Structure 1
Amino acid sequence: MTSKLPSYLNLKYLYLDPSLSTTNPILQNVKKHLPDIKILPLSSTQSYQPQSLILKKFKGKFLRFCPGTRYYNCCGYKIIHFGENCPLNCTYCILQAYFQDKTLKIWANIDDLFQELDKTFKTNPNLRFRTGTGEFTDSLVLEPLTGYAQKLTNFLQNYSNVRLELKSKVADLSWTNGLHKIDHILPAWSLNAPEIVKKEEKLVIPLEERLRAAQKCVSLGIKVCLHFDPIIYYPNWEKGYSKTIEMVFDYLKPEHICYLSLGSFRGMPELFHTISQKHPKSTYIYEEYIYGLDGKLRLFLPLRLKMFSFIVKKLKKAGLKDQIYYCMESDLVWEKTLGYTPIKLGGLDKHLEKLSFNNLL
């Protein structure tokens, strides 16, 4: 079975929380697909072998707010926190600075997750929840091993006040198996310019495969979400991002897109240091960056405005309208490039909530 897995999922060691049952469904899935994996007991003091996965009983809150900042407009979605770290090793990944421990982790006590979600969603039946799992890991990258997304999407079929965004760079659609309804799911893919995909996303599937997966979801009757984040400044960036936008509309129509985000590369100074050490050929970190109000380094504002204006113009010409939004940008950027601020939309969180609950074709 291991031959069917991508190379980054051919793991050798599994560190297992002793408090988890041997019949745990996540554990059983991992053992099924990696029958030769060496299982070791998890302790709080050990260091981990390379090519390892940790299955742990999580004791905190699974449902939490996006870690935005009051200085910029945040989309306001709720994170369903089910694990940490990602094996795709994209050079720009902000998780490199978030977590000192790079080992893949999955919170295997999925019944506790379901109990928390059930209580929250049923206690607030008149509230709408736009949620997602792609904040601290890729939503689907471990799906061949764990089946987590399939279990979660099946569970959430019974909650009409919830939408779940599965944000990914892989094309695994196995989560659709067995679903009798699909209107609660927002399939989402991260996109970038072809040159960035080739040089900075070396373990990730090509853009064409992501867009074919999006096209397949559309054929099932639901809209998809797209994310150009991080947009990276590099020589001939106009040609690269134009090419990707053309590809999007080779596979999708404007009405197939629920929403599309734009975000420029940004991060705390330690992220830039990590990239310089781990990925010395990644030269985009040496462009013109300044400190933003949130303490993160951001591309110099005139350059951001130039890139955003160019991309927005292309997207609008292709037929997108109010589906475009910015991830963590100021009112000034919105006004200069889109001609309005989130207030005109009724607030960014409310606007995206409205789009999310209108996701059927």
Structure 2
Amino acid sequence: MNDTREPCLPAHLEPPQHILVDPEVIHSPITARVLSRLPGIPWSVCRNYQEKLQKHGPGARILYLKNYKGRFMRFCPGTSRYHCCGYRIIHIGENCPLNCSYCILQAYFQDRVLKVWANQQDLFRELEEHLADKNRLFRAGTGEFTDSLALEAITGYTGDLAAFLGQYPNICLELKSKIVDLGWMSRVSDPARVLPAWSVNTPEIIALQEKGSAGLQERMQAARECVRQGFRICLHFDPVIHYPGWQKGYALAVETIFDYVNARDIAYMSLGSFRFMPELEKILMHNHPGADYIYNEFITGLDGKKRLLLPLRLKQFRFLARKLKNAGMGTNMYFCMESEHVWQDVLGYTPRDLGGLDNHLLRLSFQADQFSALKA
């Protein structure tokens, strides 16, 4: 008998039209959980992913539970030309149900299929190998190729991961998102080693360019609740976008943030200007014709990506940094993929002054007493 119940999902998540399941993960706990939380959604075993995708059409909402055979733990795809934060990616899936106009995943991936690596035990085995040396510290997160929490309501992946990592004191897990889901919190054994994180932007950018995401106040209400539960948080002003009235918008964003949390509650905060691979430009124009910020003045940077002209970037960064410093932020502010010149001009220090950006953020991730104890 077919199950005809409608799944109860959060507002940002439309139910998929079909679920494809690799035969190798048909009995995995993730598969069982997803199918139980999406009653009434048709599903089938998938031996030929591309063939199935063609059958459903390019615009179909497909969820693919895959037996992933690649590396789960990898380095952030930074570049030697600009300062990278040294973040380690825990790869749990690809694509995102949100519809942010500037999303680089549009250029990374050829389709919009939501992919979840359902062979979670293989992920855990690989993490065990990386984390075996308890004297080696890791700062890692899941928010690079997908939103860390956007599918949590149906997969429970983050809760599983947080519970597993609870036995390893040498890793700090960052959960970067644009939505609100705190269901994973009950499975965290040590709040000091999990960093809930949100991308933040102006109310206008969130409303017009981050379709499906939570509002800024909603994100900060969730951040405040995390602080109440003993967590520190991370925030990311990335991408900072140049548009008419941006000064008023970013001033309001900073004011809103500190209406809900204090600077001491923030482990670190990044600033990053809108930048994009050249191939994203046409995709963005086609998919989001109203995103007129793409017509700003850009140059090609040393890494081949288009970047806002330096004087315009510096003006925005100086404005934001001044507001944030007045709110109590200090050397826990950093730039994502910017030059030493920008660091010195805006913040008055460089990664070299901090002992290297990756080491600095590692120290901030682990509170001072934890860091000293683990390094002893």
- TM-score bracket, normalised by the shorter chain, equals over 0.9
Look up the SS of the partner of 2:271 in the other structure: strand
1:47 deviates by 4.7
In structure 2, relative to structure 1, the CA distance for the partners of 1:359 and 1:191 (3 Å cut) is farther
Q: 2:373 matched to which residue of 1?
A: none
Q: Which runs of 5+ in 2 are unaligned?
A: 1-5, 371-376
Map of 2:7 onto structure 1? 2
1:57 aligns with 2:67: yes
Structure 2 residue 40 is matched with structure 1 residue 36? yes
Residue 83 of structure 2 is matched in structure 1 by: 73
1:107-146 deviation digits (Å, cap 9, x = unpaired): 0000010011011101x22110000000000000000010
TM-score by length of 1: 0.97
Alpha-carbon distance change, 126 to 167 in structure 1, aligned in 2, over 3 angstroms: same
Which runs of 5 or more structure 1 residues have no equivalent in the other structure?
A: none
**Partner deviation per Cα, 1:223-271 (whole Å, 9 max, x = no partner):** 1000000000000100000000000000001100000000000011111
* CA distance in 2 between partners of 1:354 and 1:189 (Å): 20
Deviation at 1:44, TM superposition (A): 4.0
Q: Counterparts in 2 of 1:1-361, with a 5 A limit?
A: 2-6=7-11, 8-22=13-27, 24-42=28-46, 43-48=48-53, 49=56, 50-122=60-132, 124-358=133-367
How far 1:7 sits from its partner (Å)? 5.4
In structure 2, give the amino acid aligned to 1:105: K
Contact 2:160-2:187 at 8 Å conserved across structures: no
Distance between the aligned counterparts of 1:107 and 1:329, measured in 2? Answer: 32
| TM-aligned CA distance change 1:87 to 1:359, over 3 Å | farther
Distance apart, 1:10 and its partner CA: 1.1
Cα distance in 2 between the residues matched to 1:223 and 1:38: 40
> 1:102, CA displacement in angstroms?
1.5
1:275 to 1:340, Cα distance in 2 relative to 1, 3 A: same
Count of residue pairs the alignment pairs up: 359
Distance 1:359 1:221, change over 3 A: farther
Q: How big is each residue's C-alpha offset from its partner over 1:28-80, in whole Å with a ceiling of 9 and x where there is no partner?
A: 12112211111122214315231110000111110000000000000001000
Preserved contact between residue 129 and residue 161 of structure 1 (Cα < 8 Å): yes
State how far apart, in whole Å, the 2-side matches of 1:40 and 1:328 are.
42
Deviations 1:199-236 (A, max 9, x none): 10121111111001110110011210000000000001
3-state SS, counterpart of residue 19 of structure 2: strand
Contact 2:285–2:291, Cα closer than 8 Å, also in 1: yes
Give, in whole Å, the separation in 1 of the partners of 2:9 and 2:171. Answer: 33
